[in-house]
Copies of this chain bind each other. A is one copy, B any other.
Amino acid sequence: MPREVDHAQRRSEISGAVWQVVSESGLEGLTLRAVASAAGCTTGMVTHYFRDKKALLAHARSVMHRRMADRIEAMPVGAEDPRAHLSAVAEQALPLDEERHLEAVVWSSFLLTTRTDPELLREHSVSHASWVRRLTALVRAALSGEPEPGDLEDRVRALVVCLDGLALNAVTDPDAYPPDLQRRVLDGQLDLILEGNREGAVRSLHPQG
């Protein structure tokens, strides 16, 4: 076998180029030539590693999901304050730094294409349900010691849509939704959801914690 190359790495590099193009030109500007240009190669190389455009997008999507999942799973679990843990995990879904902002852009771009593709919808559906389940467990843990509210499910949903809404707005208009605003809103939402679990919260005086 002559001239062996690490296929996985090449594919990852090209997927990185996909992200870059989506980030600055949107999904509508995502062409094989643009990807090749961003990757500093030719379209021939792109087609050499991906059968067609659909496969290219699928790989870029899976890389995104893996990255997100890895970051969350890398969180230390258990020992610390349950509320801090919940907050830390939830924060992983927010575009608080450049890396996560890029991910959020890709996420939101792909999310809308999900609507018209039944296969992608199913994939999204189970992933979303899993995310809701994970947050439910964390919220329940953060509530331990208090009687479980009857509308816990709805509270978790409120948290989930809060995160999605924050991410969406931060992606659309980053200047209007800077990281500190995102953090404050999330923190406030957790206060509301946990309803005084953190007694005497003085968020308005120490927004950054």
- Asked whether, in the complex, the Cβ of B204 is within 8 Å of the Cβ of A149, the reply is yes
Q: Which single member of B112, B150, B164 contacts A26 (CB below 8 Å)?
A: B112
Check A173 against B124 for contact (C-beta < 8 Å): yes
Tell me, yes or no, whether A105 is within 8 Å of chain B by CB.
Answer: yes
- Are B188 and A158 in contact (CB-based, < 8 A)? yes
Whether, in the assembled complex, A10 has its beta carbon less than 8 Å from a beta carbon of chain B, the answer is: no
Q: A32-40, A41-49, A84-92, A114-122: which lies at the B interface?
A: A114-122
Question: Does A31 sit at the interface, judged by CB under 8 A?
Answer: no
**With A26-B112, A26-B113, A112-B26 as given contacts, are A161 and B157 in contact (CB-CB < 8 Å)?**
no
Complex copy number for this chain? 2
A130 within 8 A of B: no
A12 close to chain B: CB less than 8 A: no
A185 touches B157 (CB 8 A): yes
Cα A150 to Cα B204 in complex, Å, equals 6
Partner of A164, one of B124, B155, B168, B204: B168
Q: Which of B109, B166, B203 contacts A151 (CB 8 A)?
A: B203
Interface residues of A in 164-179 (CB under 8 A from B): 164-166, 168-169, 171-173, 175-176
Partner of A172, one of B26, B111, B181: B111
Name A's B-contacting residues (CB within 8 A).
Answer: 24-29, 105, 108-109, 111-116, 121, 124-125, 128-129, 149-151, 154-155, 157-158, 160-166, 168-169, 171-173, 175-176, 181, 184-185, 188-189, 192-193, 195, 203-205
